[in-house]
Structure 1
Amino acid sequence: MNWMERTLSRKNLMALTGLFLCFFLVIHLLGNLQLLLPAGEAQLQFNAYSKLLSGNIFIKIISFVLYASIIAHAVYALVITLKNKRAGGTPYHYDQRGAASKWYSRNMGILGTIILIFLIIHFKDFWYQYKFGQMPVDAHGQKDLYTLVVTVYQEGWYVAVYVLCMVALCYHLLHGFFSAARTLGVYHPRYARGIRIFGWIFSIAICAGFALIPVYVHFLK
């Protein structure tokens, strides 16, 4: 397999892992929207939801696939970028199909790095604490992740950083969605407009939904 074939193979894996992560974002957002419910109901449902995710063997398998996808997505992005730079070619994130690339297409590395740092902080503050930290329990004896989330979101700086990272994620999704469609061969001129509209709607809806949650919790809970 020559360099070009290996690069295309990596791009396919990037596209597939990226699409899987998009699917996960939808599921994750739907679960987190429970935080917008009235406090008592939100605590009950969100803690039960968290317990389901941590105790179901099927969900655990999906979680391992998710972790592998995040790592593979980040690693392949780095490998493709370094390979292109060493070859003196055009960077992977540059979109040659337009007269000029969008600024977010030219800065996918920076956006991806911001998102990766955010994920590390996010996992440390919530996933790690839930799995290995000293968690309070609610009235039903379940780990009280709800209270932890509400407490963290009372920090104004954390909410501001969270929202800014969701802006970075939105632009990352925009480019990634269109790039994956091209890589997988579905970006046909006949469907290009529909794909672009769906990509914009998906990216904005997902990131606006995630950004709304800490803002709502900070100011209204």
Structure 2
Amino acid sequence: MWLINSSVGRKVVMSLTGLFLILFVTFHAVMNAVALISFEAYEKVCEFLGANWYALLGTAAIAGGAVLHIIYAFWLSMQNKKARGGDAYAVAKRPKNVEWASQNMLVLGIIVFCFFVLHLYHFWAKMQLPEMMGDHPLAGKAALEAVFGQVWVLPVYLVCFVALWFHLTHGFWSAFQSLGTANEKWICRFKCIGFVWSTVVMGLFAVEAIYFTWFFAF
């Protein structure tokens, strides 16, 4: 199959799943922003996105996209390493026209994955999963308090937000390049859009984490 056997096909899968996850991350940041305005409204949003069929379908789609993205990321990294052969172990300076994030996407991806697992444990495992199992889950505000009431969570989340910012800024324009929708002129535009988009979304996440820690821990 072209999407599996072809290097270009694998990049297409990486790009499409990456863009899908970017949309989810953006939605997640906006959803959490509701709690900055009203915890009562946030409770309503969490109730709407509980263990309903559409929420479970969305969760399955997000999980599937994340798994595919991770698998193809390692696949392409191993492919690139094999293609470099002995040069993979050569010590060389990074070319001026190659971004730092581009050279470290796998490492950044591993950090983001570890954060993803931690975040699932903090929220999904205590909110949607118990409801699916027929137990009483933590409510939206209670879940936020359980997590951000621990001061150590804030610095860990902030470091992960920085890693995710680097990952998104490169991944955004790189996805459009891999899909063949960006020429030299549009690459610059996509880089600018990706930088602004990632900065706004990650900045919003950081503000939320700082506010919740201040509200619940102090």
Whether TM exceeds 0.5 here: the answer is yes
- Take 2:169 and 2:211, find their aligned partners in 1: how far apart are those partners? 25
Q: Name the SS of the counterpart of 2:49 in structure 1.
A: helix
Note the C-alpha offset of 1:8: 1.0
- Take 2:79 and 2:215, find their aligned partners in 1: how far apart are those partners? 48
The residue identity in structure 1 corresponding to 2:166 is Y
Large movers: runs of 4+ above 3 Å: 131-134
- Take 1:192 and 1:130, find their aligned partners in 2: how far apart are those partners? 40
Question: Is 1:84 aligned to residue 74 of structure 2?
Answer: no
TM-score relative to the length of structure 2: 0.85
Note the C-alpha offset of 1:121: 0.7
Match of 1:95 in 2: none
Given the alignment, which residue of 59, 62, 65 partners 1:63?
A: 59
Contact 2:29 2:201 (C-alpha < 8 Å) held by counterparts:
yes
Gapped runs of 5+ residues in structure 2? 89-94
Give aligned pairs, total. Answer: 205
Match of 2:13 in 1: 13
The residue identity in structure 2 corresponding to 1:78 is F
Note the C-alpha offset of 1:74: 0.5
Question: Is 1:198 aligned to residue 200 of structure 2?
Answer: no
- Structure 1 window deviating more from structure 2 (64-73 vs 178-187): it is 178-187
The Cα offsets for residues 157-201 of structure 1, whole Å up to 9 and x where unpaired, read as 111110110000000001111210110112212323322211110
Contact 1:50 1:145 (C-alpha < 8 Å) held by counterparts:
yes
- Take 1:133 and 1:214, find their aligned partners in 2: how far apart are those partners? 24
TM-score relative to the length of structure 1: 0.84
Gapped runs of 5+ residues in structure 1? 92-97, 135-140
Contact 1:47 1:143 (C-alpha < 8 Å) held by counterparts:
no
Percent of pairs with identical residues: 27
- RMSD over aligned CA atoms reads 2.5
Match of 2:91 in 1: none
Q: How does 1:66-215 map to 2 (within 5 A)?
A: 66-88=62-84, 99-133=96-130, 143-215=138-210
- Take 2:54 and 2:215, find their aligned partners in 1: how far apart are those partners? 35
Note the C-alpha offset of 1:120: 0.4
- Structure 1 window deviating more from structure 2 (141-150 vs 211-220): it is 141-150
